[in-house]
A and B are shown apart, each in its own frame.
Chain A
Amino acid sequence: MSQPTTQRDKRTAAPSGSDRTPPKTPRASSWASMPLPVRHLLLAVLGLVGVTGLLFVTGDLTALRIAAVGYTMLAVAGLQLLVGGSGQVSLGHGAFMMIGAYTMALLVLHQPMLPLAANLGIIVVVSIIAGIAVGAATARLHGPYLAGATLILAVGLPGLTHRYHDLLGGSNGLNIRTAGAPPFLQDLLSTSEWRALVVWTTVVIGLAVLATISSGRLGRRMRAIRDDETAAAMAGVPVGKTKVVAFVIASTAGGLAGGLQAYVLGTVTPSSFTLVLSLTLLAALVLGGIGSLWGALWASIAIVYLQIWAGDLAGAMNLSRDAENNLPIVFFGVVLILVLRFWPLGVHGALQSLRARLRARES
């Protein structure tokens, strides 16, 4: 890789929080000397332990919300890698969630003896195929053209459920029943707590993989392409291939998230995968902070809890149903515009600059 590209790469990678200044304490240095995948897996286990603890102190309803935060986070993290990493704006992320969700529903309905892990594996394969198809078809499109093409995908795909009404159930969608906690755990965990755990186990593994990719060679290549396609090509980065791979990774994360959503909610309908979903995912990503996977966490919390708060607010203020349903959408739109105007690095960027300021005061 040529000198200018590496320099630029370092500069843009810095806000992502993965590259810190050389550690000073011995404890930190043993942490830093571990290989990246191990570090990410340890963080993932830590995250899972945290979520489990949270599940035990909260109720059943919160368990469902925690699960929702989980799968939304996986979807947003995939989008983060695509938009923040490789700079391709996809407005069709909801379409991949839809593919995953319907795959899950069809598998549960028609192959009921398959275990959940096998279902998730098949969803990964299906999402990879879908990602390759869309990514290869759109590899030559850039900027607004790519955004337009993926927008068409997001609007058009739900129409297929009407076309294949018998298989996909039309606008009523499909309802599925999945097994709850295994017998030996039933005293300990309720069904929704078990589901939340399954979701988060998948999510943390997915996030560890995404984090490893993002800080590895592939991630560097993506950022090089995002910053300057011509320069990246000059430096020997295979531009087309890397773009398609980014697309495939994002679609896999989206598909898995959709599959988990179907597993938790037990129902899939075309009306839950509209253009608004895709736009909300993108909006939340920008709100959370487009440069970092941490942004995905804030984003998914915002998506899940805004819906709930809007309901509470509308109830408290006696607003109409129309106002209640549209409040989150309007909020996301306003946030999208304001954040980009005044706070372009999102919540995560703001937290980081706060931390930097505190550290500067200490020294």
Chain B
Amino acid sequence: MTHFINLTLNGLASGAAYAALALSLVIIYQATRLVNFAQPALALVAVYAAYTVTQLTGSYWIGFASALIVGMAAGALVERVIIRPIAKTSQLNAIIVTLGLLLVIQGGVGMVWGNEQHGFRYAFSYVGRFSPADTFALVSVGVVALLLFAVYRFTPFGLRMRAAAFHPESARLSGVKVGLMLTAGWGIASFIGALAGMLAGPPFLSPNVFDVVFVFGITAAVVGGLDNPFGAVIGGLLIGLGMSYVSGYLGPELATLSALAIVVIVLSVRPDGILSRPTARKV
């Protein structure tokens, strides 16, 4: 029983990181109709920046802040320079471009910081059952998700963001700067992605440290419905729990493949995720 409780608590903590990554995917999908396969790479840059800043200044929290800022800037830059010219051509091309970005950034990080692992500390002590680090993960993701909800729901800026995402044409007619909103969406999403990276990166960093995290993040986003931020958060926590049980009872090597099984089963039953409403299609 204690084993089960430990697995549950661990699962919730790692689920927070998956939820954050899923949330960043969903924000971009809502804005651009594009699954951003480069999201783990953007988080990678942010976390490595934090690593370097922490080493230079000696302060973890300056590093943490710089990770979020670097992540946000990288996301906005990528949207402006790389995604926007290509997004109009075709969905296939846009997906492949994000994959190209993933290769470039992963390889680039490997060139600059090396392929070997670097030790990287947690925000707080990670010792014990439901450690301070675990609490921090859950609380920070919860706060960010609530803030995001409040901004989207209750501020004029959020209204413009939603308008730009759902009806770009009419939003543009009523004076919303749609392009700016898209850039802002990518910035916000990558900010949250960087947070996910800071939570999921430790104890070791290497250029492909986020491959598996991204697998769980995209599973969470798909399970919750790519169109639904609530779904992403709930999906993230559920996947965290599920993977924790699979790793604990069956073996950690099977976690990724069981994520595949979950994706396939969920999507076969509900092709757009659990929480999405079926879309009406005009013929």
Is the C-beta of B6 less than 8 angstroms from some C-beta in chain A? Answer: no
Contacts of B97 in A (CB 8 A): 336-337, 340-341
Of the residues A147, A274, A325, contact of B95 by C-beta under 8 Å: A147
B257→A156 contact, CB < 8 A: yes
12 further interface pairs, Cβ-Cβ under 8 Å (given A144-B95, A152-B257, A156-B255):
A83-B92, A87-B92, A137-B264, A144-B35, A149-B260, A155-B211, A159-B252, A230-B283, A274-B211, A326-B207, A334-B100, A340-B100
Give A330's nearest chain B residue, CB to CB: B107
Report the minimal beta-carbon distance from A230 to chain B, rounded to whole angstroms.
Answer: 8
Partner among B29, B96, B219, B271 whose Cβ is within 8 Å of the Cβ of A336: B96
Instruction: Tell whether, in the assembled complex, residue A151 and residue B110 are in contact, meaning their CB atoms are under 8 Å apart.
Output: no
B147 → A minimal CB distance (Å): 27
Closest to B260 in A: A152
Q: Mark B214-247, 1 if CB is under 8 A from A, else 0.
A: 1100110010001000000000000000000000
Assuming the A-B contacts A149-B260, A340-B100, A341-B86, are A330 and B267 also in contact, with contact meaning beta carbons closer than 8 angstroms in the complex? no
Q: Which of B92, B107, B256 contacts A152 (CB 8 A)?
A: B256
A5 to B263, CA, bound (A): 33
Interface string of A237-279 (1 = CB under 8 A from B): 0000000000000000000000000000000000000111001
**Least CB separation from A148: chain B residue:** B218
Size band of the interface chain B makes with A = 35 or more
Say which residue of A145, A322, A323, A344 sits within 8 Å of B267 (CB atoms). Answer: A145
Chain B contacts for A160, CB-based, 8 A: 253, 257
Q: Judging by beta carbons under 8 Å apart, are A337 and B100 in contact?
A: yes
Q: In the assembly, what is the distance between CA of A218 and CA of B219, in Å?
A: 33
Residues of B within 8 A of A189 (CB): none
Which of the residues A140, A148, A162 comes within 8 Å of B35, measured between beta carbons? Answer: A148
**CB pair B215 A152 closer than 8 Å:** yes
Which of A141, A274, A322, A344 has the largest number of chain B CB atoms within 10 A? A322
Query: A282 contacts B264, CB within 8 Å?
Result: no
Cross-chain contact A337 with B95 (CB below 8 angstroms): no
Cα distance A317–B89 when bound, in Å? 39
Asked if B259 contacts A156 (CB within 8 A), the reply is: yes
Q: Indicate whether A99 reaches chain B with its CB closer than 8 angstroms.
A: no
Q: Which residues of A contact B253 (CB under 8 A)?
A: 159-160, 162-163
Contact with A along B77-89 (1 / 0, CB 8 A): 0000010011001
Give A158-179 as 1s and 0s: 1 = Cβ < 8 Å from B's Cβ atoms: 0110110000000000000000
Known: A89-B92, A156-B260. A144 touches B219 (CB 8 A): no
5 residue pairs bridging A and B, Cβ less than 8 Å apart: A147-B37, A152-B219, A159-B255, A274-B208, A328-B107
The answer to whether B218 touches A283 (Cβ under 8 A) is: no
Shortest distance from the beta carbon of B125 to any chain A beta carbon, whole Å: 30
- A279 touching B99, Cβ below 8 Å: yes
Enumerate A27-80 residues with CB–CB distance to B below 8 Å: none
Contacts of B99 in A (CB 8 A): 91, 279, 282-283, 336
CB distance from B124 to the nearest CB of A (A): 29
B156 to chain A, nearest CB (A): 31
Q: Mark A320-343, 1 if CB is under 8 A from B, else 0.
A: 101101111110111111001100
Chain B: which residue is nearest A338 at the CB level? B100
Residues of A within 8 A of B104 (CB): 329-330, 333-334, 337
Min CB distance A47 to B, Å, is: 28
Across-interface contacts of A143 in B (CB, < 8 A): 91-92, 95
Of B101, B103, B208, B256, which is within 8 A of A156 by CB? Answer: B256
Query: Nearest chain B CB to A166's CB is how many angstroms away?
Result: 14
> A301 — which chain B residues lie within 8 A by C-beta?
none
A276 touches B106 (CB 8 A): yes
Asked if B251 lies at the interface with its beta carbon under 8 angstroms from chain A, I say yes
Contact with A along B95-118 (1 / 0, CB 8 A): 111011111111110110011000
Does B275 count as interface, using CB distance less than 8 angstroms? no
Inter-subunit contact A159/B100 (CB<8 Å): no
Q: How far is the CA of A91 from the CA of B211 in the complex (A)?
A: 13
Q: Does B254 contact A (CB under 8 A)?
A: yes
A89, A149, A153, A332: the one within 8 Å of B103 (CB): A332
Is the Cβ of A163 less than 8 Å from the Cβ of B263? no
* A336 B264 Cβ-Cβ under 8 A: no
- A333, B28: Cα distance in complex, Å: 21
For chain A, residues 263 to 312, give those with C-beta under 8 angstroms from any C-beta of chain B: 274-276, 279-280, 282-283, 286
B2 at the interface (CB under 8 A from A): no
B35 touches A147 (CB 8 A): yes
Bound form: Cα–Cα A91–B263 in Å: 15
User: Are B102 and A279 in touch, CB under 8 angstroms?
Assistant: yes
Query: CB-nearest residue of chain A relative to B207?
Result: A326
Give Cα A327 to B114, complex, Å.
Answer: 12
Interface centre among A275, A327, A328 (most CB of B within 10 A): A275
Query: Quick one: given A143-B91, A148-B35, are A326 and B107 in contact (CB under 8 Å)?
Result: yes
* Complex-state Cα separation, A268 to B41, whole angstroms: 28
Inter-chain CA distance A142–B268, complex, in Å, is 11
Q: Which of B105, B255, B267, B283 has the most CB of A within 10 A?
A: B267
Q: Do A276 and B92 form a contact, CB below 8 Å, given A140-B268, A156-B259? A: no
